[in-house]
Structures are given as C-alpha cells and as structure tokens.
Amino acid sequence: MSANSTWFFKRQILVARVYGIPVRIDYRWFIVFALSVALIASNVRRHPIQLFTYRLPATGELTAWVLGIATTLGLFLSVFGHELSHALMGRTEGIEIEEIVLHPFGGLARMRTQPESPGAEFRIAVAGPAASFIFALVGFAGMMLTARLEFNFGTAFFFFIGAGNLLLAVFNLFPGYPLDGGRVLRAIIWKRSGSIRDATRIAGFCGQLMALVLIAFGVYMALAPTFRAYFMGLWSVLVGVFLLGAATSVVRSVREPTAVADAMSPAVVVEPDLLISRFVDEILPLHRYSSFPVGQDKQLLGILTLEDLKKLPREQWRNRRVRDAMRPVTPSMFVKTSADMDAANELIQSNGVGAVAVIEESGELVGFLRRGRVRRRRK
C-alpha cells in the first residue's frame, strides 16, 4: 500500500507532540477550516461589525481573508487548549493519555483507562470548560484593549476568540455524554449510586436526547420562514448526528457481554519473523495499540508490547525481528472463547501485558482483548 493511500485510510495526520502526547488532525478538519475562513471573511467584508458598544467598519478584501485565517487558527488552537486541559488533568489523576484528535466538530483527548473515582471524573471533565472560560476572558480583555487603541483588526480578532470560547465552554457544559457536562453528570450519578455503569448509561441517554434536540432545532432553523438559516441549521444537524452516534456508542458500551467471544476484537496478528522496523513503519501507523498477538498459521506464539519494544535500542530495529522482542506465550496470556469476562479481566490485570489472546478449543487464535475493553461485572 502506498504512503498516500495509507494516509487516506488513517484519516488522521500527526502534526505535533505536546508534553509527549501525539496531536492528530482528522483530514476533514481542513474542509471545516476552509468554510470557517470563508464565512468570517464574507461577514467582515460586507457588513460593519457591532461588538457590544463598539462598531467596526467593513474591512477590505485582503484584510477580511487574513482575519478569517487568523481567527480560525485561533479558534482551533483554543479547541486544542481545551482538550489539552483535559489531558493534563487526566495525567494528574494517573491516567495515561493516548492522543489528542482535532476533528470537524471539536476535539477529543483519548485516555487509555477510565477515571478511578467520581472525583477524578469530575475534575477531568471541568478542566476543559474552565480553560475555555479563561480563553474567553483573555479574548474579551484583548478586544477592549485593542478597541481603545483603535486597532480594528485586533478588536475583531479578539472578539471572535472570546465569543467562540464562551460558546465552546457553555455548549460543552450541556448535561449529555460525551460532552463535558455529561461527564460531570456521570460523576454526580456515579458518586450517588456507586455504579459507573449506571451513571454512564444515564448520561449517555441524556446525550442522545440532546443530540435529537439539536437535530430538530437545526431542521427548524433551516425550514422556518422566520429563520431560513440554512448553513447554521445544517451545522446544527451535523453536530447533532455526530453527538447521537457518540452517545449511542457509549450506551451500547456499558451493556457488558458475559462471554469473551462477545467482547473480543479481531486479532491484528504480527508474524514472528517480521523485522521490527517494518512493524513500526507499516503496522503501528494503521493500528495504534499497545500490544499485539504474535502468531503463525493461526497459532499463538507470544505477545509483543510497545513497552518491551521501547527497551530495544532504536538502531537495532532494522536487524532484529518481532520474535526477539515478544514475550513468549504462557497460560496467563490467553483464554478460551468460552471463558467468562471475569476470568479474562483477572488475567489482563495480572499478566503484566494488559491484554489476552482468545483461542478456540482447537487452539486457533481468533481474537484479542486489551485493557479498557473489559470491565468487571458487578454482582
């Protein structure tokens, strides 16, 4: 597969590492970026801007486009700052951060594990909106300062940054999972009920309800004679559809399977004779997991973890093979398809790998389970 086709199927581009956290951009982000630039430039070019008590005249063509680009970049950096706040707070709670992804409808700080307590969940959830409120205050302060200096470009820029962050903070505090307000709601229900599953299910249902309201509101904005706001209506519908899918996925995820066969993922099997350099260049970019089953002819030979791989000097990657870095198979590294989730979870927590392979009675490798994919069933 060519490099270009690999990028297309990944649908994400690694743009930076901040505090060791990979930051990726969904390729559809560029479409939203272009639309945002065009929309801002069009508005400030054609009409004067009324900013509270300040009135700015319409700008020229070049200034409008420069303002559109600068403002859009500032808003997306604000979204990144919002997600970075979640990530850094997660780290203070002892949670490993897998990545930050910026997508067309905002961002996502992906964590490897769930918070261990309602308090940790609450602190992580409010960190993002708190950062956005701070960015909003900075934006409005910059707007007032530049207005006194009669720097119209700066006044418009800071107004959009302040208003955008205020909107981001308020919207994210709506009580529906996976929004931050939904996570706050989950933390409160979790504290009262003692069950994270029940809390997640209720917060997910609230997220579904909010998504349906957004979709209905978007349709109304687009079709009602008093509005005819086609762009804003369409955007509301798209955001609602996105949130509905995410909330539905969350609700489904708490319906715990009782058997390993119902919870396992397809096994991304690595051959033992594959060069480690090829594994890093060809497999890791497509499958960003922390562990992989090593097998041949459907037989499990061991498990390769990124933790073990990091211990191998980088200069040896072109000469060493996967079998040189893998952990040889032991009884603690696999379960049968007929095993229950409690047994699988015990092994995952204790085998030092954070995963187990799933094999059939005949011994054939058929699946894989990683930490975070299973939970202990409550009795």
Looking at residue 8, its pLDDT comes to 36
CA angle at residue 78 from 72 to 79, to 5 degrees? 95
DSSP strands (E only) in the chain: 12-18, 21-26, 49-51, 54-56, 97-103, 106-111, 291-296, 299-305, 327-328, 334-336, 355-359, 365-370
Q: Indicate the domain borders of the chain.
A: 3-253, 260-370
Q: Please determine, for residue 377, whether its predicted confidence score (pLDDT) is greater than 60.
A: no
Question: Cα(100)–Cα(128) distance, rounded to whole angstroms?
Answer: 13
349-372, pLDDT tens digit by residue? Answer: 888 888 889 988 888 898 888 875
113-136, pLDDT tens digit by residue? Answer: 778 788 989 999 999 999 999 999
Question: Cα(280)–Cα(282) distance, rounded to whole angstroms?
Answer: 6
Looking at residue 166, its pLDDT comes to 92
Architecture field, domain 260-370: Roll (3.10)
CA distances (Å), origin 331, targets 249, 296, 301, 334: 33, 18, 11, 6
Contacts for 154 with CB less than 8 Å, ≥ 6 apart: 142, 143, 146
Looking at residue 255, its pLDDT comes to 64
231-261, pLDDT tens digit by residue? Answer: 677 778 888 888 888 888 777 766 655 567 7
Sign for the CA dihedral angle at 35, 37, 38, 39 comes to positive
**Average pLDDT over every residue of 311-336:** 90
The helix-helix angle for 196-223 and 180-193 (nearest 10°) equals 150
Question: Cα(87)–Cα(127) distance, rounded to whole angstroms?
Answer: 9
pTM above 0.75, yes or no: no
**Cβ atoms 43, 72 nearer than 8 A:** no
283-315, pLDDT tens digit by residue? Answer: 888 787 888 999 998 899 999 998 888 888 888
DSSP strands (E only) in 74-191: 97-103, 106-111
Most confident segment among 45-54, 335-344, 362-371: 362-371
Looking at residue 288, its pLDDT comes to 76
What would the two tokens of residue 1 be?
């597969």
Helix %, strand %, coil % of the chain (to 5): 55, 20, 25
Looking at residue 379, its pLDDT comes to 34
Neighbours of 234 (CB within 10 A): 14
